[in-house]
Structure 1
Amino acid sequence: MHRTTPNHRISVCTSCKHKGATCEPGYDLIKRLREAIDAAGDAIPEAFEISGVACMAGCDRPCTIAYHGTRKATYLFGDIDADEDIEALVAFARQYSVLHDGWCSSVDRPGKLRRTTLARVPAAITIVEHSPEPVQ
Protein backbone atom coordinates (compact mmCIF):
# COMPACT_ATOMS: atom_id res chain seq x y z
CA MET A 1 0.00 0.00 0.00
CA HIS A 2 1.26 3.51 -0.83
CA ARG A 3 0.30 5.20 2.43
CA THR A 4 2.16 5.19 5.72
CA THR A 5 1.07 5.88 9.29
CA PRO A 6 -2.44 7.32 9.29
CA ASN A 7 -2.93 10.86 10.51
CA HIS A 8 -6.61 10.71 9.61
CA ARG A 9 -9.33 8.60 11.18
CA ILE A 10 -12.87 7.66 10.31
CA SER A 11 -15.00 6.53 13.25
CA VAL A 12 -18.23 4.63 12.67
CA CYS A 13 -20.86 4.10 15.34
CA THR A 14 -21.35 0.38 15.88
CA SER A 15 -24.22 0.53 18.34
CA CYS A 16 -26.77 2.38 16.18
CA LYS A 17 -29.58 0.20 14.95
CA HIS A 18 -31.95 0.89 12.10
CA LYS A 19 -35.26 1.85 13.62
CA GLY A 20 -37.54 -1.14 13.88
CA ALA A 21 -34.81 -3.65 13.01
CA THR A 22 -32.14 -5.51 14.94
CA CYS A 23 -29.20 -5.16 12.54
CA GLU A 24 -26.09 -3.19 13.42
CA PRO A 25 -25.24 -1.40 10.17
CA GLY A 26 -22.02 0.16 11.49
CA TYR A 27 -20.04 -3.07 11.14
CA ASP A 28 -21.10 -3.47 7.51
CA LEU A 29 -20.24 0.17 6.83
CA ILE A 30 -16.74 -0.26 8.31
CA LYS A 31 -16.06 -3.29 6.10
CA ARG A 32 -17.35 -1.64 2.93
CA LEU A 33 -15.59 1.65 3.62
CA ARG A 34 -12.23 -0.07 4.23
CA GLU A 35 -12.60 -1.96 0.95
CA ALA A 36 -13.60 1.17 -0.98
CA ILE A 37 -10.78 3.32 0.42
CA ASP A 38 -8.25 0.56 -0.28
CA ALA A 39 -9.60 0.28 -3.82
CA ALA A 40 -9.24 4.06 -4.29
CA GLY A 41 -5.48 3.65 -3.86
CA ASP A 42 -3.44 6.74 -4.71
CA ALA A 43 -6.60 8.78 -5.35
CA ILE A 44 -6.61 9.35 -1.58
CA PRO A 45 -3.17 10.80 -0.81
CA GLU A 46 -3.30 10.29 2.97
CA ALA A 47 -3.86 7.17 5.04
CA PHE A 48 -7.07 6.72 7.02
CA GLU A 49 -7.57 4.49 10.03
CA ILE A 50 -11.16 3.21 10.07
CA SER A 51 -12.61 1.91 13.30
CA GLY A 52 -15.83 1.44 15.19
CA VAL A 53 -16.84 3.25 18.34
CA ALA A 54 -19.48 2.15 20.83
CA CYS A 55 -21.69 5.24 20.59
CA MET A 56 -21.57 8.68 18.99
CA ALA A 57 -24.99 9.82 20.30
CA GLY A 58 -26.51 9.98 16.83
CA CYS A 59 -29.14 7.36 17.53
CA ASP A 60 -31.88 9.28 15.75
CA ARG A 61 -29.68 9.53 12.62
CA PRO A 62 -27.99 6.12 12.09
CA CYS A 63 -25.45 5.31 10.82
CA THR A 64 -23.29 8.01 12.32
CA ILE A 65 -19.75 8.53 11.04
CA ALA A 66 -16.98 11.01 11.91
CA TYR A 67 -13.88 12.19 10.05
CA HIS A 68 -10.94 13.32 12.22
CA GLY A 69 -7.53 14.63 11.28
CA THR A 70 -4.49 15.98 13.05
CA ARG A 71 -5.02 19.73 13.56
CA LYS A 72 -8.22 19.59 11.51
CA ALA A 73 -11.89 20.19 12.10
CA THR A 74 -13.86 17.03 12.84
CA TYR A 75 -17.04 16.26 10.88
CA LEU A 76 -19.94 14.18 12.16
CA PHE A 77 -22.44 12.88 9.61
CA GLY A 78 -25.69 11.01 10.17
CA ASP A 79 -28.21 9.08 8.06
CA ILE A 80 -25.44 7.15 6.30
CA ASP A 81 -26.41 4.06 4.33
CA ALA A 82 -23.68 1.58 3.38
CA ASP A 83 -25.54 0.66 0.18
CA GLU A 84 -26.02 4.22 -1.05
CA ASP A 85 -23.27 6.43 0.36
CA ILE A 86 -19.90 4.67 -0.07
CA GLU A 87 -18.92 6.79 -3.09
CA ALA A 88 -19.67 10.03 -1.25
CA LEU A 89 -17.76 8.84 1.84
CA VAL A 90 -14.71 7.96 -0.24
CA ALA A 91 -14.95 11.27 -2.12
CA PHE A 92 -15.06 13.11 1.21
CA ALA A 93 -12.00 11.17 2.45
CA ARG A 94 -10.16 12.29 -0.70
CA GLN A 95 -11.29 15.89 -0.14
CA TYR A 96 -10.68 15.94 3.62
CA SER A 97 -7.18 14.49 3.28
CA VAL A 98 -5.96 17.57 1.37
CA LEU A 99 -7.75 20.28 3.38
CA HIS A 100 -5.03 21.80 5.57
CA ASP A 101 -7.46 22.70 8.38
CA GLY A 102 -10.35 20.41 7.48
CA TRP A 103 -12.79 23.24 6.80
CA CYS A 104 -15.05 23.15 3.77
CA SER A 105 -18.45 24.56 2.93
CA SER A 106 -21.46 22.29 2.92
CA VAL A 107 -21.91 22.93 -0.82
CA ASP A 108 -18.43 21.50 -1.41
CA ARG A 109 -19.19 18.18 0.29
CA PRO A 110 -20.08 15.24 -1.95
CA GLY A 111 -23.51 13.66 -2.27
CA LYS A 112 -25.90 13.81 0.62
CA LEU A 113 -23.07 14.76 3.00
CA ARG A 114 -24.07 18.31 2.07
CA ARG A 115 -27.26 17.94 4.07
CA THR A 116 -26.53 15.24 6.65
CA THR A 117 -23.79 17.03 8.58
CA LEU A 118 -24.60 16.82 12.28
CA ALA A 119 -21.57 18.78 13.48
CA ARG A 120 -18.31 20.38 12.44
CA VAL A 121 -16.04 20.72 15.45
CA PRO A 122 -12.97 22.98 15.18
CA ALA A 123 -9.58 21.46 15.83
CA ALA A 124 -8.64 21.63 19.49
CA ILE A 125 -5.76 23.95 20.19
CA THR A 126 -4.60 23.97 23.77
CA ILE A 127 -2.74 27.02 24.98
CA VAL A 128 -0.94 26.77 28.27
CA GLU A 129 -0.15 30.09 29.92
CA HIS A 130 2.44 30.25 32.63
CA SER A 131 1.16 31.92 35.77
CA PRO A 132 3.28 32.78 38.79
CA GLU A 133 0.23 32.19 41.00
CA PRO A 134 -0.56 28.56 41.90
CA VAL A 135 -3.91 27.23 40.79
CA GLN A 136 -6.15 26.52 43.76
Structure 2
Amino acid sequence: MTDPNAPRPTVSVCRSCRGSNPDLPPEQRPGVVLSQGLCAVEPGDVAVQVVDCLGNCNRGPSVALQCAGRWQYLFGEIDPVTGPADLLAAARLLAVSTDGLLPWRERPPALKKGLIARLPPLQSP
Protein backbone atom coordinates (compact mmCIF):
# COMPACT_ATOMS: atom_id res chain seq x y z
CA MET A 1 0.00 0.00 0.00
CA THR A 2 1.35 3.42 -0.88
CA ASP A 3 1.63 6.43 1.40
CA PRO A 4 -0.95 9.06 0.30
CA ASN A 5 1.49 11.80 1.35
CA ALA A 6 4.39 10.45 -0.73
CA PRO A 7 5.30 12.36 -3.89
CA ARG A 8 4.04 10.84 -7.15
CA PRO A 9 6.83 9.01 -8.99
CA THR A 10 7.24 9.02 -12.77
CA VAL A 11 8.29 6.12 -14.98
CA SER A 12 9.63 7.37 -18.32
CA VAL A 13 9.85 4.61 -20.91
CA CYS A 14 11.60 4.73 -24.27
CA ARG A 15 9.27 3.57 -27.02
CA SER A 16 11.95 3.47 -29.72
CA CYS A 17 14.16 0.80 -28.10
CA ARG A 18 14.67 -1.99 -30.60
CA GLY A 19 16.43 -4.52 -28.39
CA SER A 20 18.71 -7.06 -30.03
CA ASN A 21 16.58 -7.51 -33.16
CA PRO A 22 16.73 -4.38 -35.35
CA ASP A 23 14.52 -6.01 -38.00
CA LEU A 24 11.35 -6.09 -35.89
CA PRO A 25 8.46 -4.02 -37.21
CA PRO A 26 7.94 -0.85 -35.12
CA GLU A 27 4.85 -2.17 -33.30
CA GLN A 28 6.81 -5.24 -32.08
CA ARG A 29 9.86 -3.38 -30.78
CA PRO A 30 10.54 -4.11 -27.10
CA GLY A 31 10.23 -0.41 -26.25
CA VAL A 32 6.77 -0.23 -27.81
CA VAL A 33 5.63 -3.41 -26.05
CA LEU A 34 6.97 -2.13 -22.70
CA SER A 35 5.39 1.32 -23.09
CA GLN A 36 2.05 -0.19 -24.09
CA GLY A 37 2.16 -2.51 -21.08
CA LEU A 38 2.82 0.39 -18.71
CA CYS A 39 0.11 2.57 -20.25
CA ALA A 40 -2.42 -0.28 -20.17
CA VAL A 41 -2.12 -0.55 -16.39
CA GLU A 42 -3.12 3.11 -15.87
CA PRO A 43 -1.73 3.41 -12.33
CA GLY A 44 -3.17 6.40 -10.50
CA ASP A 45 -0.28 6.64 -8.07
CA VAL A 46 2.51 6.50 -10.69
CA ALA A 47 2.81 8.78 -13.72
CA VAL A 48 3.84 7.07 -16.97
CA GLN A 49 5.65 9.15 -19.56
CA VAL A 50 6.42 7.66 -22.98
CA VAL A 51 9.45 9.28 -24.64
CA ASP A 52 11.07 8.88 -28.03
CA CYS A 53 14.61 8.13 -26.81
CA LEU A 54 16.57 7.85 -23.58
CA GLY A 55 19.91 7.53 -25.41
CA ASN A 56 20.64 4.03 -24.14
CA CYS A 57 20.13 2.13 -27.38
CA ASN A 58 22.73 -0.58 -26.77
CA ARG A 59 21.04 -1.69 -23.53
CA GLY A 60 17.36 -1.12 -24.24
CA PRO A 61 14.55 -1.23 -23.50
CA SER A 62 15.33 1.67 -21.20
CA VAL A 63 13.38 3.30 -18.41
CA ALA A 64 13.98 6.23 -16.07
CA LEU A 65 12.50 6.36 -12.56
CA GLN A 66 12.06 9.81 -11.07
CA CYS A 67 10.39 11.21 -7.98
CA ALA A 68 10.65 14.66 -6.37
CA GLY A 69 13.34 14.79 -3.70
CA ARG A 70 14.60 11.31 -4.59
CA TRP A 71 17.51 9.94 -6.55
CA GLN A 72 16.79 9.34 -10.25
CA TYR A 73 17.50 5.99 -11.89
CA LEU A 74 18.09 4.84 -15.46
CA PHE A 75 17.68 1.13 -16.14
CA GLY A 76 18.30 -0.85 -19.31
CA GLU A 77 17.55 -4.34 -20.57
CA ILE A 78 14.05 -4.33 -19.07
CA ASP A 79 11.90 -7.30 -20.03
CA PRO A 80 8.97 -5.84 -21.99
CA VAL A 81 6.51 -8.43 -20.65
CA THR A 82 7.33 -8.52 -16.92
CA GLY A 83 8.78 -5.01 -16.81
CA PRO A 84 5.57 -3.03 -16.19
CA ALA A 85 4.79 -4.71 -12.86
CA ASP A 86 8.42 -4.52 -11.72
CA LEU A 87 8.75 -0.86 -12.69
CA LEU A 88 5.56 0.18 -10.93
CA ALA A 89 6.64 -1.67 -7.78
CA ALA A 90 10.03 0.05 -7.90
CA ALA A 91 8.46 3.48 -8.47
CA ARG A 92 6.27 2.98 -5.42
CA LEU A 93 9.29 1.95 -3.34
CA LEU A 94 11.14 5.07 -4.46
CA ALA A 95 8.20 7.31 -3.54
CA VAL A 96 8.14 6.11 0.08
CA SER A 97 11.91 5.90 0.51
CA THR A 98 13.04 7.75 3.62
CA ASP A 99 16.58 8.34 2.35
CA GLY A 100 15.66 9.09 -1.27
CA LEU A 101 17.26 5.91 -2.59
CA LEU A 102 15.72 2.85 -4.19
CA PRO A 103 16.69 0.07 -1.77
CA TRP A 104 18.55 -2.68 -3.64
CA ARG A 105 17.32 -5.53 -1.45
CA GLU A 106 13.68 -4.55 -1.91
CA ARG A 107 13.83 -3.98 -5.67
CA PRO A 108 12.02 -6.40 -7.92
CA PRO A 109 14.53 -8.97 -9.24
CA ALA A 110 14.49 -7.46 -12.75
CA LEU A 111 15.80 -4.15 -11.37
CA LYS A 112 18.65 -5.61 -9.34
CA LYS A 113 20.58 -5.67 -12.60
CA GLY A 114 20.48 -3.38 -15.58
CA LEU A 115 21.24 -0.20 -13.64
CA ILE A 116 22.80 2.32 -16.03
CA ALA A 117 22.94 5.39 -13.80
CA ARG A 118 21.80 6.83 -10.51
CA LEU A 119 21.58 10.62 -10.37
CA PRO A 120 21.18 12.77 -7.27
CA PRO A 121 17.92 14.63 -6.67
CA LEU A 122 17.64 18.01 -8.30
CA GLN A 123 18.15 20.86 -5.87
CA SER A 124 15.60 23.67 -5.77
CA PRO A 125 17.01 26.96 -7.11
- After TM superposition, is the score higher than 0.5? yes
Specify the alignment match of 1:24 in structure 2: 29
- For residues 85 and 55 of structure 2, the distance between their equivalents in structure 1, rounded to whole angstroms, comes to 24
- Is residue 15 of structure 1 aligned with residue 8 of structure 2? no
Question: What letter corresponds to residue 106 of structure 1 in structure 2?
Answer: W
1:106 CA drift (Å): 2.5
Larger mean Cα displacement after TM superposition, 96-105 or 65-74: 96-105
Distance 1:8 1:90, change over 3 A: closer
CA RMSD of aligned residues (A): 2.3
State how 1:7-86 maps to structure 2 within 5 Å.
7-20=8-21, 21-22=23-24, 23-36=28-41, 38=43, 47-86=45-84
- Structure 2, gaps ≥5 residues long: none
- Structure 1, gaps ≥5 residues long: 42-46, 128-136
Q: Which runs of 4+ in 1 moved over 4 A?
A: none
Distance 1:104 1:8, change over 3 A: closer
Question: What letter corresponds to residue 76 of structure 1 in structure 2?
Answer: L
Question: What letter corresponds to residue 10 of structure 1 in structure 2?
Answer: V
